[in-house]
Amino acid sequence: MQPAREVRHTPVLLPEVLDSLDIRSGGAYIDCTVGEGGHALAVLDEPAKDTRLLGIDLDRDALETACWRLEGHGGRAVLAEGSFGDLQELATSNGFVPADGVLLDLGVSSLQLETAQRGFSFSRSGRLDMRFGASQQTTAHDLVNGETEQRLAIHIYKYGEERKSRRVARAIVAARPIETTIELAEVVSSAVGRGRRTGVHPATRTFQAIRIAVNEELQNLERGLAQAVEVLRPHEVFDDPVFQRVVRDHHQTPRRCQDFDRLRQAPL
């Protein structure tokens, strides 16, 4: 029995996720972003269903917490450190093909945001890092200090939807070297200016953009989505809360329709 660990992340849309996974007795499920295991625990806890779950994540710290939380479920839970960009290989090698449901809960976790030295937060001082997994090569420091001004502007515009992306990129290049999250947040804030008082920090969009670029999030998503279709038992459930919401909204407004196209668009 491992010592108790603090759990930082609260899973989103939990009832909706369980509802759309429609868990069946003896089913095999893959949580591609298991994090600290919030969704995974709920899938395994479904009363008397005897499900199996493969939990994948790049973040070893999160996996250690998931391991501690799921250990009561014995051999029904399998954890794998890796990217859902390699979903098919991970699912096959762990005996989860065909799967009865696949879940992706995209984005950054509270554990990652609240740990200053992971470098995800503009309000906590840490070295610029932003990697989901320690085995990844490129850090936010590499990108912020090494990327051309033009490429930075494209990242910030495309992944952060920052209208002042060119101005932000120019300010970053002029202020190099930038070592910490707080330094970067200050440079971006001065470039963006206060604008309307929306309550959103002026560096929010740029931090999101750099995180997406560092982790090649859209490239991995594209690979993961294609492989999810391959590993699922025919006619089974693919569940990503964001994807579900986008697909639902896709039928409601033209604006969301564009979001859907962008989600599927090949990155740079």
Ligand X SMILES: C[S@@+](CC[C@H](N)C(=O)[O-])C[C@H]1O[C@@H](n2cnc3c(N)ncnc32)[C@H](O)[C@@H]1O
Q: Which residues of this chain interact with ligand X, rule CB under 6 A?
A: 9, 11, 32-33, 35-39, 56-59, 62, 83-85, 105, 107, 109, 132, 215, 220
Q: Given the complex with ligand X, which of 202 and 224 has the nearer CB atom?
A: 224
Closest to ligand X by CB, 31 or 192: 31
Rounded to the nearest whole angstrom, what is the least distance from the CB of residue 68 to ligand X in the complex?
Answer: 13
CB of 132 to ligand X, least distance (A): 4
Comparison of 150 and 265: residue with beta carbon closer to ligand X: 265
Integer Cα distance of 192 and 206 in angstroms: 10
Distance CA 91, CA 56 (A): 9
Peptide bond into 177 cis (omega under 30): yes
The residue (of 158 and 164) whose beta carbon lies closer to ligand X is: 158
Count of other CB atoms within 10 angstroms of residue 149? 14
Q: Could you tell me if 69 and 95 are in contact, meaning their C-beta atoms sit under 8 angstroms apart?
A: no
Residue 265 CB coordination number (10 Å): 10
Quick one: 34 or 178, whose CB is closer to ligand X? 34
Q: Is 148 helix (H, G, I), strand (E, B) or coil?
A: coil
Q: How far is the CB of 55 from ligand X (least distance, A)?
A: 9
Shortest CB 65 distance to ligand X, Å: 8
> To the nearest whole angstrom, how small is the minimum distance from the Cβ of residue 212 to ligand X?
10
Which positions ≥6 away from 32 have C-beta within 8 Å? 56, 84, 87, 102, 103, 104, 224, 228
